[in-house]
Each structure stands twice: as structure tokens, then as C-alpha cells.
Structure 1
């Protein structure tokens, strides 16, 4: 009957837009044709439409999108980039001034690193080198901007045999289609698709296509190899063992695989696991012609008979290719902590979006009012009867003749323009309040009007809560990413990672609030001098406050190499020259041992004479 439905989900804050939610709660078909594609699951239509609507606001195209429903009049909407400015402000505070990779235990103050500390320092060095080669900082900015503006971001890790390192790519969340379990862990789906449409390419005689890349965790099966069907389609076929007189050909096992005698399943010992596991990750990269996708198919159940499988750079056909890892190398980054048993985050634009619409409407009205203020309307009364013109053009230096008691009136619209501008400022403050971005965080506060540093800190309270919640939603995701990077390098048998055991690693975001360096220095000096703070913590606090410290461990080594008084105390306490040398970072040679004193035997006259020359000389004289 077409009754109106109330839809409440992660994107229901957009329901106020008629183009996004009709009586059935579904988006406008002409405005969001991508979301209504036959291969898109019904549960993902609102999500994809929300991404496009939010991207339109970010790119000042909300009026262009509204034209599909409201006609050409929607193009008159004035959009001056307020949503994009809020996105950039949130992103800058989320990331902080700098980011770095930290492996707990990699910092030592005494120079005598244990085996665990040395291993942590080595892993941190390898991860930092990989991040520099892979431009990880830029990838993080790309992904986080999508997460902040759209609500979700996606990283993909893949081993590159040519470059001998794990590659990191960022995908639009509109390409991401996880198969979420109905009653399971929504954070870790066991089957994930990356799918998007490819346009027609007449130059290469290619029709519109759908490409789908699938990662799936499954039971380890027999080994397969690349092959070709009689029709010329690349596929993977099972590898058989060589038949003998007594034994027929059997499916061969992959390298390192064994059969568990208890369960009969094929198991594999991964270097990062303590026990063998029967699971592996399979990769499939296939393409379909859109015209062949007829019937009730979605991205998860496309007909494999019409698929054409891709080929990797190493020549392997990507048809359930065994990646020899027991995890899916895709990391979904939500912008906010998802609701219980949910998977998707929410955009930072979602809650204040109606205010942004009001700001755009006020800007549009201001633009119209400024036209009448700059070119005011004039009315003339008492004009001579000989002048039959009803409208006169006003120009500088022009003289207009009026009759007796004639007058000229000007329509002054400047008060209305001023009121509109005040209203726009009020709406901007309201949007900042809803988005939890105080004026000082947006850079719109006059520093001279801040009464004190304490008042500034109090005003940043909402921002602290916002950034704390956003970083909480990301903390585990980046730990997972760095864990997968370590495992991929070990699985790829990179020589630098030989003998390395994966360790927990963090991607630490930098400080985002203004810091009083002098105050931090005073606090650190007093706390460290009183012995209630370690040197590692002191140097870390100085670095986080903006002091130019590139390497904490190297800075600690340089500090200790000049603390000779502390080295003397260490020598007195331990009596060890080696400990003092390690503390100062010097190669101290121990003092040579003094010769052993040989005492003369008792009653030896000659030795007595040598010991007392005066007595011996007197005896000779006598």
C-alpha cells in the first residue's frame, strides 16, 4: 500500500532529506543509481546512497544532487565549503601533528638491552622502514579522510613478490561488501568482497563489467595449479600425485601441509602460531559482463560459470588461490565505535548535517539580499507628466527631473543582510557545538580573548572526548594492520625478517592540542629529578609536547653519555667497569692489575740488609 516506514539505522540521520528517504525509507532511484544496481544487496542500498550524499556535501555538490528531485531551482543553492572545513578540522585533530610506530619494550635507558628489548627494537625498526617505503602516512590520511567524511575506511594488504614487501592500499568503503554473520562476530567476517562496476571500453571492445575481489577463510584443501579450460578460460585445477602400480593418483598436499591423524583434516603450521591450524585464506579475482547478470543474483552469489578469472603478476590464476596465511588481509576502520553487534561507523557530518543545510540556505538568502544592497531599488514620485517612462536606469552623474514636491526613496536592505549574516554565525556556532568542535579547535577564536591557559584547556573538553572516542575505535584496527604486516613479511620469507617473531605494535597518533613547552619542561625536570619518573617517560613527554626529538632511544643514549656523576655512582654501587662503559656508551679498558708483592722469608740476612740500607752500611764500616 506504500505506507510510510520509519527506518532507524546507522544512516537514519539522513532521513530528513527527501531525496534519501522516500515513504518506504529507500533512496531516490535516479539520484543513486549505483545503490540500486541489481548486484547490490538490498541491505547495502541505504549505505551506498549515504556515502554518495555525504560525498556530495564534502564536494559542494549537494545542490547538484538535489536537482534530480527538486529540479533546476536546486542549483541556486550556495555552498561555501563548511562541511569540508569541518572534515579537515576533525581529521587534523584526529591524526595529530605526527604519527609513529611504537613497539612496547623497544626503549631502554641503561644501554643493557635484554633479548626481549632487542627483539622489540628490531621489529620497530623494520616496521618503521616498511612504513617509509610504503608511504604509510599518506595512506593513513587517505583512509582516515574517508572514514571521517563517510563513516568507514578500508585498508588492503597484499604481498608484492617483485618489491619484496607488503603493499598497502586504500579502498572506498562503497566497494566493501562483507558477508556479516547473523549471529556471530560482526568485526571479523570470514568472507569479504571488494566489488565495483567498470565502464564500457569501446577502444578495447569491452562491455560494462563488474569486478569482484573475494577474500575467504576456509578449510585447507589439496594443492592446485593454474590451468585453462577447453573454452580458453583460466582456472585452477587440483594437482595429483604420481600414480604407481599399487597406488592410484591422489590429490597432492601443498608445501608444508600435513594430515591430522585425529581429525583427518589438512593442517598447516604457520610461523606465528604455536599449533597447526586447518584454515587458510583464499583469493578470487573475477569479472562478469553486466548483461550476463540476470536473475536474483547479488554480489555474494554471482554465477561462477560466467566469471572470467584474473591472473596475478606471478602468473597464478586468481581462482581460490591459497595465500598461505590464516587471516583476511582487509582492515575495516569505522569512524566511531559501532553499536553492539553492528559493523559500520558514522560520519562526523551526520549529526550537524541539517545545520549545514540551514547555513547553505542562509548563505543563499544573503547572496540575494546583497544584490539589492549593492544595487538598491529606487522609487521616484512627482515626475513630470511629459516623461512616460515607467522605469529609469540609474547611473553615476545622471540627473532625474521631478515635479513639484517630488521625492526619491531608496529601499535599504542592509539591515536584513546584517541579520542574515548574524544568523549564519549563530548556525556555525551551533554546528560546532553539535560536532563537538569548539571555536578554538576551528581556529576562529581570537587568541587575545582567551583569559588563561586553564580556560583554554576547559574549552577543549568536548574535543578531548570526541578525539578520545574516535581513537578508541581505531586503536585495535591499527594494531591488527601492523600485526598483518609482520606476518606477511614472514610468510613472504623476506631475508630481513628471518627469525623475527611478530610482536604487538601500535600506530601512535600525535598530540592535537596546543602545548606549553616551558611548562612541560618544568614538570619533567622536577619529576625526573625527584626520581618519580623514568628517563624514557620524560623524553617521551618532551617529544609529545613538540620538542625536536627524532629518536627517543638515541636521545636517551646521548643524555646518558654525558652523565658522568651518575656513572660514578654506578661504579661505586656495582664496582663494574663494564656496567659504567655500557651506561656511558664507551669502551672502557680496565686498569691493569698491580704486581703481586713477594715478601722475604723470615731470618734471611741478605733480604734484611736490602730492606734496611742504613743498618747494612754501618755493619760494613765496623
Structure 2
């Protein structure tokens, strides 16, 4: 008996589509997804890459083009009006929030006990915000979130740019991302080796054949220093750097800057952000292969290194296991959802509603056909004996009928009305599955909302959805800012000299309509009741959408005008220096009290001083 196996994995929600799960092969159609079946693509990634292409087709209104490969030319008549793209754009805007802020815990503290820590946190926060502005961080985040929400995964890459003297941030399509995951570990563990690989098309004008480019970041043991050179075939490679001995002894390998070798031959290194030496570093390899040279059982992780052509960076360094002098892989994978246990990949926000989108497209196609017959009605004419006679329906048309002739029109508007109502039901069904209420899509009439409380209740599913999506991104955002700080230290930027990396957070703003007046009243009441601090009050107003760019400066400006509180502080402490510091001003110099000047005693009265008068008085008594 031929039993069909049921595949349940991270991509099994696409098994209902014959083009993705071919009934005869049980795998994605090769004609529809040739990229996923390339010889260098691992078998475990074929379904993932096919799913990415299929989801991208839905996002770009091209699902009918893929369906045509299997179902024929009739599939191209399918109407696609951008509903999946609208869902993606809505979710991206919600998960991004109205604004994004980089914060360092402790940077907004104003108590004098932690003045040194607060100053250091404020300095790191200012440097990170300056980097984010220079690197257009919100735009890069939007690019990555567009991929993560639509495809299920997004990829960031950080690298040090010596020309611009700052870490650069790039986003990659997850179809280029091939991590080497541990077989016996958790899929959520950070991989020890990551490949970014894609094919380069043939370029006849430049005489270039079809090629495969692979950029590899790999954690490995620290080895002796290497230098750029060429091999016997003239390929640029890296070779161990050897030191020349003064005597006839053989040359010895050269250690990298700051490296130390222990008694057992291991090489260790102390990184600026670590307090103890480590024996591992990250190596970068950027190589290209001609597709014709890839023969046999090879994949992206086992390409023949002898056939590779290595690239060079702007400094002329050959990128063949180049030591980056960092102890982390600067590639950050951002899943759209929290991956299941022992899984690595996220899930697209369209996954569970994809069948509803198919039904919606079919209904739109039927509605388009029905609207043609409604706009140009079908007419039946009886009482005409000449079957060759043709009639044209139009304004002012005259029909000559027989004695028993009549015109019969067929009204298809009820069918069109039903199709439109069915389309609205399917759209609501898809929104419910994705957990996007009508108010978040902008399809609800605001006048029909009974109250603000009812509106808040309707946003409950969206709140839980965005909370889960932001939870999947919280650690990745912190990891991104941590890597930025370490790259600044590794690049020896002068502004970061002597700085210790601090945990930074990327705070995403509100995504739902907020009542600023209600938020202000709540914060004011709580602050006047002394149940929250001024720092917490400013943070709550910022999250409510108030235009506060820098909380620290806002607090300083508020305190600079708080004269009543300054008067109470002066009465409590009696220290003008503390009061002036609270107001952000210079304490006035205290006047010095003048010395006491006693009146001068006349010269003729010096013999009659008090002491002598007392003596005379006592002598007379005697």
C-alpha cells in the first residue's frame, strides 16, 4: 500500500496549495520555485525558500502568475486587489509604533548618589542616538520589518566602515540567510556559522558566467595573524604571517595585536568590552564560485574552497578568514513571531489567513465577471424569424418585433450584491484570523463606535498580537544596540574611548490612538500625589505620544522653573549649592561678614581703664 506521509513543520500551513506540495512529489514545484531547487541549496531549506517566494507573490499581487505554471492560462484571470499587502503594511506600522527611542536605564536619574553612573548612561545614550540618526535606523528597521511580517523572518547585518568611522547597518532578504544550526541544541541558540548566499546572473557583456556569492561569518579559535597574498594559481588568499629570526632559527608565526599564548599553545585575547580573556574570534570570508564548478553532493556549507575567488575590502585585505577582532557574529535574525520550542524560524502574519485570501480573490474575480453583465445587461428577443439578423444594444436603439415579439432582460445585480457581501464577509474573516480589528484597518465608521471603552475592548486581539510580535523582537533590538557599542570600541572610535558598553533598549512608540488629554490628567494626578517620580511621568507622556524628544533635557527645563520646590528644598537642606544645582544655575557667592571694629580709647583715659578703676576702688575700701 502506498501511504502518503503528512508533513507538519514550520511551513505545513502551505500544504493545501498543490503548487507548493505537489501531490506526486510531495515537494514544491520545480518549475515554480527553481531557486529553491538549486544544487547548492540544502534540502532542509527548499520548503522555506519556496514559502518565501510564494508569500512575496501574494504581497505583490502575483500569486496568479505562480498558479499559471500549474493550472494554465486561466489562472491569470484571477483578480488580486492588494488585500495581503494592506494587512502587511498595517501590521508593520503597528509593530514599529509611531516613533522609536533608544534609552539607557539610569540616563534619566537625577539623584546625586548615582551621578557618575547617570552621566555615563547619558553619554552612551547620546552617542547611540547620534549613530541611529546618521545610519537612518528607523528606515532600516522598516525594511527589516517589511520582510519579517510578510515572510516571517528578517535579517540585519552590522559591519565597521573605516571610511565613515561608524558601524553600518544593512538588511538582507531571509532567502539569502543560511545559518548552520546545531543538531543537538535548541533552534533558538545563536549559530556558530552563518552564510549569506545568492546567485549572480550571467553577464555576457563583461564576460562573466553565472556565479554564486557567499559571505560567511564563523566563530572559531584564535589563530596566528595572517596577511594578504596570492597562491600558485594567482588567486588572492591569506597566508600566515611569519617573523624573521635574527639567527638561523626557522621563522615563527606572528600573533595578532594584543594576543597572548599560554603554556598549552592556546591564543587568548582580551576584548575592550570583556573583563576576562577569550580564545575565540569571528572570521569573515567573502568568496564567489562559478555555478559550473559546483558538481557533486555540495551545498552552501560545503562548497569547494579550491574553486573560490575571494573578494577584498576597501583596505586591500583579502576576505579569506579575515579576523574581525570581535567575539560575536554581527548577523541578527529577527523572527516575526516567537519560534516554537527547538525551532529557529518565525511565521508570516499571512500564514493562517492565506486560504481566506484565496477565497477573497476568487470572489473578486466572480464579482468582476458579474459586474460586466450588470453594466451591459443580457437581453432576449422573441418574435424575430431571421436568425442572421444582429442587434446592438445602446442608447436610442430600435427593435422591430413581430406580433408576439417581446424583449426579456436578465437582471444579474442580485448576484453581484451577494458576491460583494460575501467578499466583505471574507475580508472580515481574514481580519479576525490575523487578529486585526476593523478599527485598526480603518474600515470602521467612527460614528458607529458607542464609546471609548468599547473601542478599547475591540482592540484587545490587536494588543495581544502586537505584544507577542514585540516580544519576539525585544531581545534582537537589545542585541543590535549591544553589537553597535562593541563595534565602536573595536573600531577604536575616539568618542568612545574609555566607555563601557551598557544595556540599551529600543523603545517602540504607541500603535493605537491615544487620548493625550486623558494621559496628561492621569500623569498629573499621580505626580501631584507623589506616587510616581518626574522621570516616570515624562516617560508615560512620551509613550502617550507627546512630542518629547529628550526626557533628560525636558526634566532639566522643568526643574529650572520649579521655584516653589526649590524654596522647599532650601528650607529642608539649607544648602544653596544643592538648590542651585536643582535649578541648573550657579550658586551666588556668599558675602564675607566684616570684622568687628571696636571704638578707639582716648589716650588720657588709658590710666582709668576698667582694671585700674577696679584696683583703685578696692584700695580705697581697704
For normalisation by structure 1, the TM-score amounts to 0.95
Query: Where do 5+ consecutive residues of structure 1 fail to align?
Result: 611-622
Partner residue in 1 for 2:462: 463
Q: Secondary structure of 2:361's match? A: helix
Partner residue in 1 for 2:574: 575
Q: Is the 8 A contact 2:110 2:118 kept in 1?
A: no
**Pair 1:559-2:553 in alignment:** no
Q: CA RMSD in A?
A: 2.0
Q: Is the 8 A contact 2:509 2:545 kept in 1?
A: no
Pick which of 237-246 and 443-452 moved more.
237-246
Residues in 1 aligned to 2:540 and 2:445: alpha-carbon distance in whole angstroms: 28
**Pair 1:224-2:223 in alignment:** no
Q: Is the 8 A contact 2:560 2:582 kept in 1?
A: yes
Query: Where do 5+ consecutive residues of structure 2 fail to align?
Result: 610-622
Q: Secondary structure of 1:203's match? A: helix
Question: 1:5 deviation in Å?
Answer: 2.5
Residues in 2 aligned to 1:131 and 1:60: alpha-carbon distance in whole angstroms: 34
Q: Is the 8 A contact 1:110 1:583 kept in 2?
A: no
Aligned with residue 260 of structure 2, among 249, 258, 261: 258
Q: Is the 8 A contact 1:577 1:590 kept in 2?
A: no
Give the paired residue count. 606
- Relative to structure 1, the CA distance from residue 162 to residue 51 in structure 2 (aligned partners, 3 Å threshold; closer, same or farther) is same
Question: 1:391 deviation in Å?
Answer: 4.2
- Relative to structure 1, the CA distance from residue 389 to residue 221 in structure 2 (aligned partners, 3 Å threshold; closer, same or farther) is same
Partner residue in 1 for 2:481: 482
Aligned with residue 199 of structure 1, among 198, 201, 224: 201
Question: 1:248 deviation in Å?
Answer: 2.2
Counterpart mapping for 1:297-336 below 5 A: 297-336=298-337
Q: Secondary structure of 2:205's match? A: coil
Residues in 2 aligned to 1:601 and 1:332: alpha-carbon distance in whole angstroms: 90
**Pair 1:501-2:497 in alignment:** no
Residues in 1 aligned to 2:595 and 2:192: alpha-carbon distance in whole angstroms: 76
Residues in 2 aligned to 1:521 and 1:211: alpha-carbon distance in whole angstroms: 55
Q: Secondary structure of 1:123's match? A: helix
Q: Is the 8 A contact 1:259 1:267 kept in 2?
A: yes
**1:246-279 Cα distance to aligned partner (Å, 9 max, x none):** 6421111111100123x43100000111110000
Question: 1:184 deviation in Å?
Answer: 1.8
**1:31-64 Cα distance to aligned partner (Å, 9 max, x none):** 0000000000000000000000000000000001
Counterpart mapping for 1:607-618 below 5 A: none
Q: Is the 8 A contact 1:112 1:582 kept in 2?
A: no
Partner residue in 1 for 2:619: none
Counterpart mapping for 1:25-64 below 5 A: 25-64=26-65
Residues in 2 aligned to 1:562 and 1:491: alpha-carbon distance in whole angstroms: 43
Residues in 2 aligned to 1:606 and 1:565: alpha-carbon distance in whole angstroms: 58
Q: Secondary structure of 1:481's match? A: helix
Question: 1:77 deviation in Å?
Answer: 0.4
Counterpart mapping for 1:61-460 below 5 A: 61-109=62-110, 114-186=115-187, 187-245=189-247, 247-261=249-263, 263-383=264-384, 385=385, 387-389=386-388, 391-460=390-459
Residues in 2 aligned to 1:45 and 1:547: alpha-carbon distance in whole angstroms: 47
Partner residue in 2 for 1:619: none
Pick which of 444-453 and 360-369 moved more.
444-453
Question: 1:245 deviation in Å?
Answer: 2.8
Residues in 2 aligned to 1:291 and 1:135: alpha-carbon distance in whole angstroms: 40
**1:541-584 Cα distance to aligned partner (Å, 9 max, x none):** 11221222221111111111111010011111111111111111
**1:96-132 Cα distance to aligned partner (Å, 9 max, x none):** 1101111111113458861111110010111111111
Q: Is the 8 A contact 2:377 2:409 kept in 1?
A: yes
Q: Is the 8 A contact 1:267 1:278 kept in 2?
A: yes
- Relative to structure 1, the CA distance from residue 135 to residue 364 in structure 2 (aligned partners, 3 Å threshold; closer, same or farther) is same
- Relative to structure 1, the CA distance from residue 407 to residue 334 in structure 2 (aligned partners, 3 Å threshold; closer, same or farther) is same
Partner residue in 1 for 2:509: 510
Q: Is the 8 A contact 2:336 2:347 kept in 1?
A: yes
Residues in 2 aligned to 1:330 and 1:260: alpha-carbon distance in whole angstroms: 31
Q: Secondary structure of 2:519's match? A: helix
**1:323-380 Cα distance to aligned partner (Å, 9 max, x none):** 0000000000000000111100000010100000000000000000001101111001
Question: 1:601 deviation in Å?
Answer: 12
Residues in 2 aligned to 1:111 and 1:59: alpha-carbon distance in whole angstroms: 56
Residues in 2 aligned to 1:606 and 1:600: alpha-carbon distance in whole angstroms: 13
Q: Secondary structure of 1:400's match? A: coil
Question: 1:407 deviation in Å?
Answer: 1.4
- Relative to structure 1, the CA distance from residue 605 to residue 11 in structure 2 (aligned partners, 3 Å threshold; closer, same or farther) is farther
Residues in 2 aligned to 1:3 and 1:202: alpha-carbon distance in whole angstroms: 49
Residues in 2 aligned to 1:431 and 1:606: alpha-carbon distance in whole angstroms: 113
For normalisation by structure 2, the TM-score amounts to 0.95
Partner residue in 1 for 2:617: none
**1:476-532 Cα distance to aligned partner (Å, 9 max, x none):** 001001000000010000011101100000111110011111111111111000000
Partner residue in 2 for 1:6: 6
